[in-house]
Structure 1
């Protein structure tokens, strides 16, 4: 058992800094890349499929490996895996910085996804195993706030670098941040591991999940260019479906699966994850197509296009804690129903955006309504996921929900542009892109509205057994636009801290 550190000490502040720097780097990268997509597409001669792969190469590995990496840290050492993830992310960022072709850029993004999967859950696990019990909730809250700030400043940093220099600088920026993170971590963060961790790592499951998601992603993106009748498209989709079916069977038979099938026996947990699929699938349009649309159709600079979504981040930062407290008092069903419906309304309001539209009268109202819907949805959703399972399954439940959200966005970015007719160089044609953008907004609105309906019918409040205290979840400030906040079984609740 390693020593327990107090948050208010010098070493405690260094530990907090180390974890916030690494995870903040990943958060920052996630927000700045979308801003740079039009510039990257122009220099690398990328059509819509290329832009989709720049986004999905990263998301693919993150969704496939985030569940496995937590177990890896428990066994090999959380600090060790975290440092490896940070270094891996930095090396991959250098590949992206010097990428001469689209193919090399996609390879760099895939490598970044592996690094992100290693460091994302590791930063939170370090906090929860390093700090003494009384300080853990405050430490996690501080970490959430710091990483949220990184995500919030991302559009300004990325947009400024793209407008004033080169999009390559957004990747180069990760290298010095990673170097400082590694130095601080090795000097100030103690090593921790789970000495009781048993069983083999679910390597087979991770491989099958990666192949399955990659097959579906390649098939859906390629279908936009070649059509569904193309042999390569059909083969890729068949491989994806087959691998995921095999994945389910492997997980069902494994003694230590990374995704225990039995966890979905709980109706509220399954319902919450279906809502996650619908909501984050729809949200993929806002974080991918909208920023590109504002630059290519409305002529926004990269800076102003990135800043256009800042009100969503600000609303999440300001209101996520309040939304969680409200759901504790009135239950999660109503907020999780109203939230996705508000998000659908936000997407429909975006239909008012036309070539020549102003930001404050068309874009801003839509973004605010979308942000309010996200605020109403995410905290209750996270609380439902954690309260639907036994305490010792809280870690895997949160990890599953996080991976489900990322997988949903992965599939949405692959499928929605194709379904909306945004393929090839369409995004460079203002008229055609505008038509496709409208269709994509309708698809996203329908997805979110479906999420609200699912929540109403599946996320009823559990019937508490006599004498049992209802589960309470600690709601931290966050602005997670890519996925619900990650938590695990060591996350303290107010009743225990």
Structure 2
């Protein structure tokens, strides 16, 4: 009985680590305006508080996954957890933006280790039908942490200041460390006698850095062409480095990544779903938050409260889906989940208007939330099915890499779709209200996010055309959101097709 209960305490420890690691990806968003005042820095510099974490998180996921497979996942998970907590405290005391950015990068290393190894540790600490339930619970934590960032961040920043979003990790982290030491079972050190594939690690890190950095450059400079060397150059470099990585890994005796994993057609299907989940649902959430705060006008806290209609489903459905995934086809559960999210996007298209409120929005939040609550838990267990025990860490790391890269890719693509449609609408209607050319160009250059601030600024509000201009800006953003819904819907549809074609039916699970 004691041994059985220890498993569930181990799951709590790993869930706490995952929750902290993923929450810190989104929780910082609502604190940026407060940070901007505290550090007196331009917003373009503040964005690196987000980008530093995203970049380092993606780059180190595969490396810490491999280290866990080689030297014991509990050891690397615990080291990652401790590093994350220490970096969080440093961030809370950061005297400058430079120190905070560096601290965020270090924090991301810890977050990557917790995220990539938690799934493999759950898989190795549980077996039979309990594994499906445990992975379902972990999946619910993953979905909940990603979606609850605005609410948690809003509460902490309003009550205690921006530093609190980092200091809160200290007590939670200490509990997670103690529980990990006491309850989590170590996995075998599968590669203790192997030589470390340093070249593979360097090339994998360089590939992911180049790809994500190129996308970040495009995200922060939407007017730059893809052929701009500062964008296309990095993406081209990523392709070259990926080819070099594949060549090296095919020749090395003990490669960092066993490329034969991609011969597992079920794993390929899981990777497609992970990418679609990031590029469709998680990237869409970024613009959903902008819609709710900037254009509908809710505060960060009010937005977070209303987004509970989205995030609560991860908590409710995770354990249920984990159990059902043992009895029914995970493949078709994933397909159904992705199609439900697509229905949510299509529903929102008919509801978008300058006067929309929560009554028009909540059905979409519920559908996307249910989809996330279904797909995430079963994706974890389906993705590692058929993967050798010594490669579970790498497999879970790859799923997280594709989910994270999908999110970065989706944010950029959806941002371009929004910005292009926004600019078209502003240009089409500017002449109808005799808008000065200088102001028209300023609105377009500012883009859909900052353009709203210009249109609703005190100076513009005094102009005779203010009311018409504000209506046009609202319509421009909504037209862009309609295009975003179509693109996000297409992405999740591709993910559903990928799951239906490539993923295999569950293997029979015994007690």
Per the normalisation by structure 2, the TM-score is: 0.75
Q: Distance in 2 between matches of 1:379 and 1:246?
A: 34
Gaps spanning 5+ residues in structure 1: where? 462-469, 473-493
SS of equivalent residue, structure 2 residue 384: helix
Determine if contact 1:225/1:424 at 8 Å carries over to the other structure. no
User: Which of 3, 22, 44 in structure 2 is aligned with 1:6?
Assistant: 3
Q: CA deviation at 1:47?
A: 5.0
Q: CA deviation at 1:450?
A: 1.8
Deviations 1:63-95 (A, max 9, x none): 332333234235445454333312321233244
Q: CA deviation at 1:409?
A: 1.3
Q: Distance in 2 between matches of 1:441 and 1:424?
A: 22
SS of equivalent residue, structure 1 residue 429: helix
Q: Distance in 1 between matches of 2:498 and 2:134?
A: 34
Instruction: Tell me if 1:451 matches 2:487.
Output: no
- What's the counterpart of residue 87 of structure 2? 92
1:313-332 paired onto structure 2 within 5 Å: 313-326=311-324, 329=327, 331-332=329-330
Instruction: Tell me if 1:471 matches 2:468.
Output: no
Instruction: Tell me if 1:302 matches 2:300.
Output: yes
Q: CA deviation at 1:145?
A: 7.0
- What's the counterpart of residue 274 of structure 1? 272
Change (3 A) 1:86 1:335: closer
- What's the counterpart of residue 176 of structure 1? 171
Determine if contact 2:51/2:216 at 8 Å carries over to the other structure. no
Determine if contact 1:5/1:131 at 8 Å carries over to the other structure. no
Q: Mark the structure with the bigger radius of gyration.
A: 2
Per the normalisation by structure 1, the TM-score is: 0.77
SS of equivalent residue, structure 1 residue 112: helix
Deviations 1:325-375 (A, max 9, x none): 55555534433333222212212333324444221x122100111123334
Q: Distance in 2 between matches of 1:148 and 1:62?
A: 17
Cα RMSD of the aligned pairs, angstroms, is: 3.8
User: Which of 480, 483, 487 in structure 2 is aligned with 1:439?
Assistant: 483
Change (3 A) 1:229 1:391: closer
Q: Distance in 1 between matches of 2:51 and 2:119?
A: 24
Instruction: Tell me if 1:32 matches 2:27.
Output: yes
Q: Distance in 2 between matches of 1:123 and 1:378?
A: 14
1:241-260 paired onto structure 2 within 5 Å: 241-260=239-258
- What's the counterpart of residue 429 of structure 1? 451
Q: Distance in 2 between matches of 1:127 and 1:330?
A: 21
Determine if contact 1:341/1:452 at 8 Å carries over to the other structure. yes
Q: Distance in 2 between matches of 1:154 and 1:234?
A: 32
Q: CA deviation at 1:115?
A: 0.9
Q: Distance in 2 between matches of 1:460 and 1:193?
A: 27
Change (3 A) 1:46 1:267: farther
Determine if contact 1:417/1:436 at 8 Å carries over to the other structure. no
Q: CA deviation at 1:233?
A: 2.6
Higher helix fraction (1 or 2): 2
Q: Distance in 2 between matches of 1:388 and 1:276?
A: 17
User: Which of 9, 16, 22 in structure 1 is aligned with 2:17?
Assistant: 22
SS of equivalent residue, structure 1 residue 257: coil
SS of equivalent residue, structure 1 residue 421: helix
Change (3 A) 1:242 1:150: closer
Q: Distance in 1 between matches of 2:503 and 2:127?
A: 34
Instruction: Tell me if 1:228 matches 2:272.
Output: no
